[in-house]
A = this chain, B = another copy of it.
Amino acid sequence: MKKYSVIGKHLPRIDGVVKATGEAKSTVDIFLPGMLYGKILRSPYPHARILNIDTSKAESLPGVRAVITCKDTPGIKFGLFDTPDFPADEYPLALDKVRYIGDEVAAIAAIDEDIAEEALDLVEVEYEELPAVFDPEEAMEPGSPQLHDHVERNISFKTVWDFGDLEKGFKESDYVREDRFTTQATAHCAFEPHVALASFDSSGSLTVWTSCQSPFNWALQLALTLDMQESKVRVLNPHVGGGFGGKVELFAYGFCAALLSKKTGRPVKITLTREEVFSTTRQRHPTLIDLKTGVKKDGILMAVHCKLIADGGAYTSTGPIFIHLFGSWILSAYRLPNLHYEGYRAYTNKSARGAQRGHGNPQPRFALDSQLDIIAEELGLDPVDIRLKNALRTNDILCNGTRITTSGLTECIQRAAESVGWRKKRGNLPKNRGMGMGCCGFLSGMVVPPYVSSGAFVKVHADGGVTVLAGIPEIGQGSDSAMSQIVADEMGIALEDVRIISGDTGIVPPHPGSYSNRGTLWAGNAVKAAALDAKQQLFEVIAETLEANVEDLEAKDRRIYVKGSPERGMAFQEAVLASLMGSSGNPILGRGYFKPNADLVNFETGKGVLTPAYGFDAHIAEVEVDPETGKVKVLKTTIANDCGVAINPMAVEGQIQGAMSMGLGQVVSEDVVMEKGLIMNPSFLTYQIVTALDIPDCKTILIEDVDPEIPLGAKTAEGTGVTALPAIANAIYDAIGVRIKDLPITPEKILNALKEKGGK
Excluding A231-B466, A452-B585, 7 further A-B contacts by CB distance (< 8 Å) are A23-B202, A220-B462, A229-B465, A449-B580, A507-B507, A509-B587, A586-B593
Pair A18/B453 contact, Cβ less than 8 Å: no
Let me know if A428 is at the binding interface, CB within 8 A: no
Take A18-B201, A202-B23, A230-B461 as given contacts and tell me if A455 and B587 are in contact as well, using a CB distance cutoff of 8 Å: yes
Let me know if A571 is at the binding interface, CB within 8 A: no
A75 to chain B, nearest CB (A): 20
Take A229-B463, A465-B229 as given contacts and tell me if A203 and B585 are in contact as well, using a CB distance cutoff of 8 Å: no
Let me know if A148 is at the binding interface, CB within 8 A: no
6 tightest Cβ-Cβ pairs between the two chains A and B: A231-B465, A585-B595, A453-B585, A230-B463, A231-B461, A455-B587
In the assembly, what is the distance between CA of A203 and CA of B498, in Å? 13
Interface residues of A in 80-100 (CB under 8 A from B): none
Let me know if A451 is at the binding interface, CB within 8 A: yes
In the assembly, what is the distance between CA of A450 and CA of B592, in Å? 26
Instruction: Look across to chain B and name the residue whose beta carbon is closest to the beta carbon of A497.
Output: B231
What residues on B are CB-neighbors of A234 within 8 Å? 499
Partner of A584, one of B463, B496, B595: B595
Interface residues of A in 363-409 (CB under 8 A from B): none
Pair B581/A589 contact, Cβ less than 8 Å: no
Let me know if A53 is at the binding interface, CB within 8 A: no
Interface string of A574-614 (1 = CB under 8 A from B): 00010011001111011111010000000000000000000
A416 to chain B, nearest CB (A): 36
What residues on B are CB-neighbors of A461 within 8 Å? 230-231, 510
Let me know if A674 is at the binding interface, CB within 8 A: no
Residues of A within 8 A of B (CB): 14-15, 17-18, 21, 23, 201-203, 205, 220, 223, 229-232, 234, 449-453, 455, 457, 459, 461-467, 469, 471, 496-497, 499, 501, 506-507, 509-510, 577, 580-581, 584-587, 589-593, 595
What residues on B are CB-neighbors of A223 within 8 Å? 463
In the assembly, what is the distance between CA of A463 and CA of B451, in Å? 12
Take A465-B232, A469-B507 as given contacts and tell me if A589 and B593 are in contact as well, using a CB distance cutoff of 8 Å: yes
In the assembly, what is the distance between CA of A230 and CA of B577, in Å? 13
A754 to chain B, nearest CB (A): 54
A225 to chain B, nearest CB (A): 14
Of A455, A462, A587, A595, chain B has the most CB atoms within 10 Å of the CB of A587
Pair A510/B587 contact, Cβ less than 8 Å: yes
What residues on B are CB-neighbors of A497 within 8 Å? 229, 231
Pair A581/B232 contact, Cβ less than 8 Å: no
Instruction: Look across to chain B and name the residue whose beta carbon is closest to the beta carbon of A456.
Output: B589
What residues on B are CB-neighbors of A450 within 8 Å? 462, 577, 580-581
In the assembly, what is the distance between CA of A90 and CA of B205, in Å? 44
Instruction: Look across to chain B and name the residue whose beta carbon is closest to the beta carbon of A469.
Output: B507
What residues on B are CB-neighbors of A462 within 8 Å? 220, 230, 450-451, 510
In the assembly, what is the distance between CA of A270 and CA of B467, in Å? 28
Take A461-B230, A463-B230, A580-B510 as given contacts and tell me if A587 and B453 are in contact as well, using a CB distance cutoff of 8 Å: yes
In the assembly, what is the distance between CA of A585 and CA of B447, in Å? 10
Of A220, A467, A584, chain B has the most CB atoms within 10 Å of the CB of A467
What residues on B are CB-neighbors of A453 within 8 Å? 580, 584-587
In the assembly, what is the distance between CA of A613 and CA of B585, in Å? 18
In the assembly, what is the distance between CA of A590 and CA of B457, in Å? 9
